[in-house]
Amino acid sequence: MDKIENETCPICQEKKLTLIEDEQDIPYFGAVFIFSMVCNGCGYKQADIECADRKEPSKYEFTIKKPDDMRVRVVKSSEGGIKIPQLKMSVDPGVASEGFVSNIEGVLQRFKKILETERDTADDEDVRKHAKNLLKKLWKVECGEAQLKIIIEDPTGNSAIISENAIITKLKGKKQL
C-alpha cells in the first residue's frame, strides 16, 4: 500500500489530504487498484477502483432472494451506476460517484441512508411517506420476505456483482443507466 500525506486538499486548500493506493485480489474478479483520498481538515473524501486487467463494458443483474444474498460481494467503480428498478432509485456515475468494494447489504445501506434523510427532512409529507414505504420494502428484502433486483452498468468494466446467480451481459459502447 502506498500512502502520501499532507497534500493540498482540492476543497479547503489545506495540506491535510492523504492519498492512498492499494492493490487487492478479489476472489472470482481479479486484481484491482483501490485509490482513495481523505482530507483530515474538511472531511472531503473520494475513492475509486480500477481493474488491473482491461475488462469489457458490462451490465450485472442480481436478484436478492434470501438473507444469505446480502453477503454477495459488490465491486463498483466511479464509472459504474447502480439501479434498483422496483424502488425507482439509482446512483448515477459521475464526479460525485465513489468506487467501493462492499456487499449487497452495504449497497442497500447506501440507499437506506438516502431514504432515511428524505423521511426525516423532506418538507413535503408525500415525499416523507414515500420514503417510509421504500424503507419498509428494503426491510422486507433484508428479512427475506421480498425479492429485489440490483443492476450495475459500467462502461469501463471495473464493476461487478460476484455471484454465480448474477446475470452478466456486455454493454455496447458507453451506455449508461
For the segment 54-65, the average pLDDT, to the nearest whole number, is 93
- The cell for 64 is 436478492
Residue 173: the pLDDT is 60
* Domain-wise residue ranges, the chain: 1-53, 55-177
Q: Pick the closest to residue 36 from 44, 27, 24, 46 (CA basis).
A: 46
Question: CATH assignment of 55-177, given 3.50.50.60, 2.60.40.10, 2.60.120.1040, 1.20.1250.20?
Answer: 2.60.120.1040
Render pLDDT for 81-111 as a digit per residue (tens, 0 to 9): 999 999 999 988 765 678 888 999 999 999 9
Burial track 137-175 (b if 16+ CB lie within 10 A, e otherwise): bbeebbeeeeebebbbbbbbbbbbbbbeebeeeebeeee
Gap between the Cα atoms of 79 and 95, Å rounded: 9
Residue 94: the pLDDT is 66
Find the range with the poorest average confidence among 46-55, 61-70, 137-146, 160-169: 46-55
Gap between the Cα atoms of 149 and 61, Å rounded: 7
pLDDT tier, 79 (very low <50, low <70, confident <90, very high otherwise): confident
Gap between the Cα atoms of 73 and 101, Å rounded: 7
The whole-model pTM stands at 0.79
Gap between the Cα atoms of 22 and 34, Å rounded: 5
Residue 112: the pLDDT is 95
Amino acid 1 reads: M
- Domain at 1-53: CATH architecture: Single Sheet (2.20)
